[in-house]
Amino acid sequence: KCWRNSRWFFAQVWDHATLLCSLLLGYGLDARVCVGTMSDGRGGAQPHVWVATWSRPPPDRHGVATIRVRAWESATGRTCSLAPLDAEARAKYLSVACVFAHDSFHANAQPSDALLSGSLDVDDASCWLALDGRRVEALTHAAAPSATADFGLARPRVDASAAAAAVEAELRTLVAAYRRDARGLATSWDDDLSYMLQPALAAYEQERVVGHAASHDDFQDAIRRRVPHGHCFKGFPTCFPHLNAQRMLAALQ
C-alpha cells in the first residue's frame, strides 16, 4: 500500500488505530488494536476499530486482582473504561472479536463477543485464543524486507500549494467578472480577511477527514472583531473533487 499524501493515510480508521497503538506502545503501555462493533446510533451495530490499553493494579486487601481496560478513540482522542464498563463505553461499544499488537494476536473464544457479558482478560485461555508467538514473529520477519516500499510516501503528483494558488487566482477573476457583468457590482478582495479564514477552512478539512467537529468559537470572535460595524459576514464551506475553476463557479451560482 502506497500513499501519495499523508492525508490519504490518516483518512482510514484502521490507520488511525494502528498509529495510535504504536504510539501508546512506545510510551510503555500495554496497548492493542480492537476489532469489533459499535452502536450506529439507530439501535443497530456497525464495524469499528479502536485502541485499548490494559493495566493490572496490585491485588486489593482481599487478594483479588482485577484488570482495567481503557478504550481510546484514535480519531477524536476520547477515552472511556471498558473494564469496568462505564456508561459511555456501554452506549458506544457493543462487541470485540479480536485484539492485536505488534507481537500478539488474540481471538475472542467466548460464547458471545458482546462486551456486556464477556471478559477482556486476554491472558485467560478459556476466553481468548492466542496465536502462537512464533507465527506472529514469522509474519513480522516476512514483512520486514518490503516494509519501506509497502508503507512509504510516494512523490505527490500535484504541487498542492501551487495548484491552490492558481485556482484561487482564476476564481477571483471569474467571480469579479460575473459580479460585474451579471449584477453590475464591483468586487474588492480583503487579504487580511482571507488570512483569517484559514483556521476555519483547516477545521472543516479536519472534520471531513476524521469525522470530528472542531470548535469555531475563536474564529467567530476574530471575524466579529474584523468585520466593520453595520456590515455582515456571509460564507459557507464547500469542496470540489476537481481543479476546474469555471465548474466551481457554476456550482456556486
Residue 107 clears pLDDT 70, i.e. is over it: yes
Q: How confident is the model at residue 8 (pLDDT cuts 50, 70, 90)?
A: very low
pLDDT in tens, 112-129: 999 999 999 999 999 999
On the question of pLDDT at 4 being above 50, the answer is: no
100: β partners: 33, 105
Q: Report residue 136's pLDDT band, with 50, 70 and 90 as the boundaries.
A: confident
Average pLDDT, the chain: 84
Q: Tens digit of pLDDT for each residue in 69-90?
A: 999 998 888 899 999 999 999 9
pLDDT band, very low/low/confident/very high, at 148 (cuts 50, 70, 90): very low
Of 231 and 110, which is predicted with more confidence?
110
Angle between helices 217-226 and 191-210 (to 10 degrees): 160
In this predicted structure, what is the pLDDT of residue 83?
93
- Distance CA(188)–CA(69), nearest Å, equals 57
Cross-strand pairs, 85: 82
Rounded Cα distance between 225 and 223, Å, is 5
Q: Which residues contact 242 (CB under 8 A, 6 or more apart)?
A: 248
For the segment 240-253, what is each residue's pLDDT rounded down to a tens digit?
889 999 999 999 88
Contact 200, 216 (CB under 8 A): yes
Compute the Cα dihedral for 213, 217, 222, 224 and give only its sign: positive
Which pLDDT band holds residue 64 (cuts at 50, 70, 90)?
A: confident
> What confidence score (pLDDT) does residue 155 get?
64
Which residues are CB-contacts of 123 (< 8 A; sequence separation ≥ 6)? none
